[in-house]
Each structure stands twice: as structure tokens, then as C-alpha cells.
């Protein structure tokens, strides 16, 4: 029973969303992209790394990103390769649709795709005191993982579906 993920009306992949969480409505699972979905998900997984790179760019030029007002921050992001990558991932996230195994749209509050290898590299960059990463991930390690916070938690037993996609993480 896979949930499907769509971007701009095109199927980009699926996940069983079989990993539950103690947080209401949060589900996760291995994300299995379609051939077309590989190009999309590669742009979605860099959100944290691009934000980190943007903050590093700001620091290198003597600017404290946290001290910028919203308009100045947005303008600076538009002028930065890492900032543009972050904004692109946000825009694409805004355009996603999640559907039930039966094909009905599901409302969600947030959605995030990650690459466990990229997360490990970023964690290591943020804390150099961590032990070295293994040279190769385990052979059964997932390439991509998705986490979704549904507007209404999936019921156990008989399913009740809710139309729409819910609030967007980024406004246009």
C-alpha cells in the first residue's frame, strides 16, 4: 500500500509511509522515486544543506543572517546560489501533492524529503568532533526518505480521506 507523491500533476514517487512517530499525524518512510521523480527529489533534498551554505556565505561576508529583516533576507537569498537553491526547494515543496493508495488527495501540514547520506555529511560539517563517517553506507540503506505531517492523522482500521493539500510551507 503505497502513497503517491505528485509535482505539477506528474507522479514523482511513492512511499508506504510505514514509519510512525509519537507526534500526531507524522508519518515517514522510504521514498521510491520514479525516473522523472529523481530530478525533482534531487532538488528537494538539499533544503538543509542549502540553508547551511547560505548561512556560511552570509557569515563569510560579515552578515549575520538571523539579524536580517524578512525583506533583506529574501533579497540576499535571491542574490546567492545557496539562497536560490533553498527558495527553489521551498517553491517545489509548495507544489507537491500527496495521494492515498486509492488515489485520493490527502491534506498535509508539512512534507520533507531527505537523503540520509547528505544528512550525515551535514551533521559532520556542523559538528567536526563527531566520529568519521563510514566510507560507504550499508547496502540496504535507503537513498531517500520522506516525512509528512498530515493535517488529520491517518486513522487506524477503516480509512477516512480528506481532500485538499493543506497549508503550504511557503507562500508565493
Taking only the tens place, the pLDDT of each residue in 31-77 is 999 999 999 998 888 788 888 899 999 999 999 998 999 999 999 99
Domains held by the chain: number: 1
**3-class state of residue 9 by DSSP:** coil
Q: Is residue 69, in this structure, part of any structural domain at all?
A: yes
Q: Output phi, psi for 36, to 5 deg.
A: -65, -35
pLDDT at 133 over 70: no
Which residues, in sequence order, are bridge partners of residue 42? none
Region 6-28 average pLDDT: 92
Residue 91 resides in a domain:
yes
75 falls within a domain: yes
Q: What is d(CA 146, CA 135) in angstroms, rounded to the nearest whole number?
A: 24
Answer yes or no: is pLDDT of 12 > 70. Answer: yes
Q: What is the pTM of this model?
A: 0.75
- Domain membership of residue 18 as a residue range: 3-150
Amino acid at each position: 500500500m503505497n502513497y503517491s507523491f505528485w509535482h505539477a500533476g506528474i507522479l514523482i514517487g511513492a512511499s508506504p509511509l510505514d514509519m510512525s512517530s509519537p507526534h500526531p499525524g507524522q508519518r515517514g518512510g522510504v521514498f521510491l522515486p520514479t525516473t522523472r521523480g529523481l530530478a525533482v527529489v534531487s532538488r528537494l533534498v538539499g533544503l538543509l544543506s542549502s540553508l547551511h551554505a547560505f548561512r556560511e556565505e552570509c557569515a563569510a561576508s560579515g552578515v549575520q543572517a538571523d539579524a536580517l529583516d524578512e525583506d533583506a533576507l529574501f533579497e540576499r537569498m535571491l542574490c546567492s546560489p545557496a539562497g536560490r537553491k533553498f527558495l527553489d526547494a521551498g517553491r517545489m515543496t509548495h507544489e507537491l501533492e500527496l495521494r492515498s493508495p486509492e488515489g485520493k488527495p490527502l491534506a498535509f501540514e508539512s512534507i520533507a524529503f531527505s537523503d540520509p547520506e547528505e544528512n550525515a555529511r551535514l551533521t559532520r560539517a556542523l559538528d567536526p568532533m563527531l566520529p568519521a563517517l563510514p566510507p560507504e553506507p550499508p547496502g540496504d540503506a535507503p537513498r531517500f526518505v520522506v516525512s509528512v505531517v498530515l493535517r488529520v492523522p491517518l486513522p487506524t482500521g477503516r480509512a477516512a480521506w480528506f481532500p485538499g493539500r493543506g497549508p503550504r510551507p511557503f507562500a508565493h
